[in-house]
Structure 1
Amino acid sequence: MAEKTNHPNAWDRIHLGSERLKLFFLKHLDRIYAAKVHLVHKLPLIIDEARFKDLRNAIAETVGNVEKQIARMQLIYTLLDSDPSKGSINGLSGLIEDAFEAVQEQKGEPELQDLSIIFYLQNIESIEMASFQILQMAAIRLHNQHINRLLRENYEEAKSDRTLLLLISSKYIIS
C-alpha cells in the first residue's frame, strides 16, 4: 500500500492563473526576442570571418531564419496585446558576445576561427530550441493555438539550423 506524503504531485502544485502565466510567458519571450534581435545584428559581422564557404552560407541562412522568427514573435506580442519589453538578456547576449570574442581570439588561424563560430552557434541554437519548447508548453495553458503554432515554427527552424551546423562541423572536421 502506497504511503500518502505531504508532498503534492507536480500537477497539484501548478496553479498559475492566466495573468501570472501570461506575465511569465511574456518575460521569457522578451528575453529570447531581445537575444534574437541582438543576434540578427551581430551574425552578419562574422560571415566574412568564416573561411569555410558552407559555414558562410549557413550563417547567412541563419540570419534569414532569425528574421522570420523575430517576425513570428512580433505577431505573438500582437496576439497577446503586448509589446516587447526590455528585460534581462545578459545570458544569451553574453553568450553571443563570448562567441564574437572567441572568433577574434582565433584571428590568423582560420580553421580554429571557423570551429569557434560553429561551437558558439551550436550552443546558441540549443538554448533557443529549449526556450521555444518551454514557451510552447506554457502556450498550451494560454489556450491559443496560433501562438503555439508560431512557437513550434520557431523551434523547428532553430532545430533545422542546429542540424545544418552539425552537418557542416562534421564535414569541416573530416575534410
Structure 2
Amino acid sequence: MATKTAENNNSSTAVSEKKNMTIDNASVDAKEMKNAPLHKFFVSALKDIYYAENAIVDALEKMQEAATTEELKDAFEDHQLQTKKHISRLEKIFKLIDEKPEKKECEAIKGIIKEGEEVIKSTEEGSMTRDAALIIAAQKVEHYEIATYGGLAQLAITMGHDKAADLLEKTLQEEEETDENLTDIAETFINFDAEQED
C-alpha cells in the first residue's frame, strides 16, 4: 500500500512538473513568435492594410459623388459599408494575435487613390467615360486588396493563426466579389455607352 501511494505521489509530481513546463514553453514560444521576422512582417502588413482600408472609406465617398450612373453610385456605397466591416475585422485579427491595431502609412494605396482623383479631374462630369474610368480606378484598389489579403491569409495559415486566417479569407472572398461586380457593371452598358460619346 505504501509503495502504491509513493508511486501515485511520484506520478502526480511528474504531471504537475509537465504542466509547468508546458506553461513555461508556451510563454517562451509566444515571446519567440512575437520576435520572429515573419510575425513582425505579418503585423507590419496588417498595419499597412489597416491604413489602406481607412483611406479607401474616404476615397469611395468621393468616387460615389463623382459617379454618373445610379448602379455605380450604389456599388461604391455598398463597398464603403463593406470596407467598414473589413476595418472592424482587421481589429479582431489584431486582438487575436495579441497586437494593438495601428495604421502604418501605405504608399501604394496613396498612389492608387491619387490616380483615382486624377481620373475625376480629367473626365467630364456626368459622362459615361468618367464612370468607365472610375471602375478601372476602383478595380486597381480591389486588386491591391486581393493581393494583400491573399498573401496575409496564407501567412496566417503558415503561422498557425487559424481564426485570423478564416477572417482574412472571408475578406478576400468579398474583395473578389466586388471586383467581379464592377466588371459586370462595366460590361453591361457603361463601356458601350462611353464608346458612343463624342
Aligned mates of 1:124, 1:20 — CA distance in 2: 28
The equivalent of 2:191 in structure 1 is 173
Aligned mates of 1:111, 1:103 — CA distance in 2: 12
By how many angstroms is 1:109 displaced? 5.8
Out of 131, 138, 153, which is 2:155 matched to?
138
Whether the 8 Å CA contact 2:67–2:130 is kept in 1: the answer is yes
By how many angstroms is 1:157 displaced? 0.7
Aligned mates of 2:62, 2:100 — CA distance in 1: 28
CA radius of gyration, larger in: 2
Aligned mates of 2:192, 2:77 — CA distance in 1: 23
* TM-score (norm. length: structure 1): 0.85
The equivalent of 1:160 in structure 2 is 177
Runs of 4+ deviating beyond 2 Å: 84-88
By how many angstroms is 1:87 displaced? 2.3
By how many angstroms is 1:76 displaced? 0.4
Q: Which stretch shows the higher mean deviation, 38-47 or 124-133?
A: 38-47
By how many angstroms is 1:46 displaced? 2.2
Gapped regions of structure 2 (runs ≥ 5)? 1-31, 194-198
2:95 alignment partner, SS class = helix
Q: Which has the higher contact order (CA 8 A, sep 6+)?
A: 1
Aligned mates of 2:99, 2:37 — CA distance in 1: 14
Query: Deviation string for 1:47-75 (max 9, x for gaps)?
Result: 12111111111001110111111111000
Of all paired residues, the percent bearing the same amino acid is: 23
The equivalent of 1:8 in structure 2 is none
* TM-score (norm. length: structure 2): 0.76
Residue type of the partner of 2:183?
L
Bigger share in helix: 2
Out of 31, 37, 48, which is 1:20 matched to?
37
Gapped regions of structure 1 (runs ≥ 5)? 1-16
Aligned length: 159
Residue 138 of structure 2 corresponds to residue 124 of structure 1: no
Whether the 8 Å CA contact 2:152–2:168 is kept in 1: the answer is yes
Whether the 8 Å CA contact 1:115–1:169 is kept in 2: the answer is yes
